[in-house]
């Protein structure tokens, strides 16, 4: 049973526009959330994280929003660039330890030049 769900397998966005990737979770005990980015033939790389004590965390063009009551988080990329085309994985854990991370199935983002 997937505790972290990414219901959109793919998303296409024009260069310069905003990309919004969504993630839902079922376990109310999760208190740490991460996004990983994966290019073809490479492993996922850490992108951004947020603790449940915050509702927003920003790093350059990337912002993660957390809505605890809805058990929902989203990743906003503004402006989107062709180099952002990748698969994005949402992950969640209880505590910050890497040993109990639950990943979603990923969303493939394509940024059209």
Q: Which residues bind another protein (CB under 8 A)?
A: 2, 4, 6, 32, 34, 36, 41-46, 49, 89, 91, 96-99, 101, 103-106
Question: 46 or 67, CB closer to another protein?
Answer: 46
Q: How far is the CB of 96 from another protein (least distance, A)?
A: 4
Tokens in use for 62? Answer: 């990337």
Q: How far is the CB of 22 from another protein (least distance, A)?
A: 15
Could you tell me if 87 and 42 are in contact, meaning their C-beta atoms sit under 8 angstroms apart? no
Q: How far is the CB of 6 from another protein (least distance, A)?
A: 8
Q: What is the CA radius of gyration of the chain?
A: 13
Question: 41 or 70, CB closer to another protein?
Answer: 41
Residue 88 CB-half CA count within 13 A: 31
Q: Which of 24, 38, 30 is nearest to 109 (CA)?
A: 38
Q: Are strands 45-51 and 72-77 parallel, antiparallel or unpaired?
A: unpaired
Question: 15 or 49, CB closer to another protein?
Answer: 49
């Amino acid at each position: 049973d997937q505790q972290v769900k990414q219901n959109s397998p793919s998303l296409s966005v024009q260069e310069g526009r905003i990309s919004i990737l969504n993630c839902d979770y079922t376990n109310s005990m999760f208190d740490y959330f991460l996004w990983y980015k994966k290019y073809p033939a490479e492993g996922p790389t850490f992108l951004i994280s947020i603790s449940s004590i915050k509702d927003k965390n920003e790093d350059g063009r990337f912002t993660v929003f957390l809505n605890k009551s809805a058990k929902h988080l989203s990743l906003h990329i503004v402006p989107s660039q062709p180099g952002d085309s990748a698969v994005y994985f949402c992950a969640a854990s209880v505590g910050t330890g890497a040993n109990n991370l639950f990943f979603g199935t990923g969303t493939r983002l394509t940024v059209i030049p």
